[in-house]
Chains A and B, each alone.
Chain A
């Protein structure tokens, strides 16, 4: 095995993983969680800082007030004495006394940073101090002098550092948990989808239409999707099966006339040369091949109509006119056979249909009736309307159809024993049923052996 295909497959699967819905979903979860964390931390830090600052400034103001009182009562000497005998209020600390031109008259500071804070923060509002742990305050004293103070809050500094560390810790742990959780949740949510995809792939790969997706006992959308998918698979399976069967049937149906055709030609060739006989055989070959062609056309029509794939060129049509035309076609043939055709045609039986196809339906039913009615008999063709239906009915006084045969008259190539001798393909009634049903109608049969049969086509009336 070479490694190239497997590595390319790995690359492909990585690409697929990146593109996959679950990876993207997990990523979005994590992004949302991280974003929320940052917003929460920011707001929290801001509030905390403000409150620490306010508290610190208040203590700075307290200290400043003590120094001011000392200054007012004893001058700078008193201040110096305060520093000498008591420790500074903070580890880092600065105190400045300036005149109106900002010239420093007195200054104490623990370090340069503190001094700078005292100098700059004197110009600013105390809440906007640049360093969170620095607290500043200033006040006016006599002789237009200003006393300002800067104090470093070691506790706040410590608090902020710890808070920062804890935050990163929480963030790190939260991120890990978020990734794990998001992966878990998306995997779990999408598991039915993955199962669906896998099952589909199995079905595609194996070509086994009997396979189904596993479904869960749940009412959520994905369980519904799986169930729907299974229903589609079942429908596909039955459709493919029906198509295979009809193909088998068509092949089988065509074998008989083709065999007859071949046998006729072979018989003519085997005999002694005889032009008249050979011409007869040739004519028969053409007749048989026309028959095969007719069957093929009809079979294709039936299969198409049954599969719902028949193209219907529908227009508003008068069923009565169509029936009259069909009767006209059989007028001669029926007279020849000594069968009378009687028509009762009501007006207003309008349908929305493919004229050619419905003419074929009527013609086939009349043909059937005329064929199986002995001389002296009668065929009655009625067109009437009833509620939302237009009805075409053919009643004959023919040989009738035995009860056990009635369900089979719609089957392709079915011929009851007693009608074997008649001309035709045995496809007419199947076509009638298929076409009528393709038009959203139905066809029914009632019959009595020896008395006659009635075929009734019900089509929806045009609105």
Chain B
């Protein structure tokens, strides 16, 4: 997957491009607006990550230029300005998503993934999920680990499905809050920790092989190690 990153801050740029490369993407990184616009216009580019404040040409103008030339490459905006106005301007100019700095890499990755899936709508959304000996059936709402049926409450089920669909991918607390409760701000509560620990007690406690892992400070991931 070929991504273009337009970001003038060396540290942030290095952090994002390295992270994306580790995920198996090809990243072209531009530090200036004009250079970035040229890179994004190249054929084969599948997604652009654009900072708003850039030398030479700002992010909004890059997005406008791309959209005016009928370039439909998905765009994620990065900005240090959290004001609603900026978000609206970015999306109005033609961006597909918006992330406020500082952001967690897990969240950026999740949004990149979401946009990729949207770009390739053929991707399957299976109704039956399986990770190791854990199975989840979306339609019948049945969860089994090994030979045992596991009874989950609604929120626990939503969280497990979310984790299983994103197996191997780290989910931040913010992402879980948004997905499970549709909450878009930090309520300063440990509700995610509580839900995860409940789920863990039902899925992992009685089994030697643990599936749900905590990455302190980053989030949670479901994987077989």
User: Does chain A bind chain B?
Assistant: yes
Instruction: Please report A residues at the B interface, Cβ cutoff 8 Å.
Output: 279-280, 282-287, 289-290, 293-294, 297, 300, 311, 313, 325, 328-330, 332-333, 336, 356, 359-360, 363-364, 367, 423-425, 428
Tell me which residues across on chain B come within 8 A of A336, comparing CB atoms: 194
Task: Assess A367 versus B198: contact at CB under 8 Å? Given A287-B217, A332-B155.
Answer: no
- Contact yes or no, B102 A333, CB < 8 A: no
Q: How far is the CB of A309 from chain B (nearest CB, A)?
A: 11
B84, B198, B215: which contacts A311 (Cβ < 8 A)? B84
Q: How far is the CB of B202 from chain A (nearest CB, A)?
A: 13
| A325 to B216 CA separation, bound complex (whole angstroms) | 28
Task: Assess A425 versus B189: contact at CB under 8 Å? Given A332-B194, A332-B198.
Answer: no
Q: How far is the CB of B158 from chain A (nearest CB, A)?
A: 12
Tell me which residues across on chain A come within 8 A of B102, comparing CB atoms: 289, 293
Task: Assess A367 versus B82: contact at CB under 8 Å? Given A289-B102, A329-B181.
Answer: no
Tell me which residues across on chain A come within 8 A of B85, comparing CB atoms: 311
- Contact yes or no, B216 A280, CB < 8 A: yes
Decide if the interface of chain A is mainly helix, strand, loop or mixed: helix
- Contact yes or no, A423 B217, CB < 8 A: no
- Contact yes or no, A328 B82, CB < 8 A: no
- Contact yes or no, A356 B155, CB < 8 A: no
Interface residue ranges of B143-184 to A (CB < 8 Å): 155, 181, 183-184
- Contact yes or no, A329 B189, CB < 8 A: yes
Tell me which residues across on chain B come within 8 A of A286, comparing CB atoms: 216-218
Judge whether B195 is part of the interface by a CB distance below 8 angstroms.
yes
- Contact yes or no, B185 A333, CB < 8 A: no
What are 26 A-B pairs at a CB distance below 8 A? A282-B217, A283-B217, A286-B218, A289-B102, A290-B217, A294-B188, A297-B185, A297-B186, A300-B82, A311-B85, A329-B183, A329-B187, A330-B191, A332-B195, A333-B191, A333-B194, A336-B194, A359-B183, A360-B187, A364-B187, A364-B188, A367-B187, A367-B188, A423-B188, A423-B190, A428-B188
- Contact yes or no, A356 B216, CB < 8 A: no
- Contact yes or no, B217 A333, CB < 8 A: no
Tell me which residues across on chain A come within 8 A of B187, comparing CB atoms: 329, 360, 363-364, 367
| A363 to B184 CA separation, bound complex (whole angstroms) | 12
| A425 to B82 CA separation, bound complex (whole angstroms) | 20
| A325 to B218 CA separation, bound complex (whole angstroms) | 26
Q: How far is the CB of B80 from chain A (nearest CB, A)?
A: 12
Tell me which residues across on chain B come within 8 A of A367, comparing CB atoms: 187-189
Tell me which residues across on chain A come within 8 A of B217, comparing CB atoms: 282-287, 290
Using an 8 Å CB-CB cutoff, how does the interface string of B211-224 with A read, 1 for contact, 0 for none?
Answer: 00001111000000
Tell me which residues across on chain B come within 8 A of A282, comparing CB atoms: 217
Max chain A C-beta neighbours (<10 A), residue from B102, B183, B187, B216:
B187
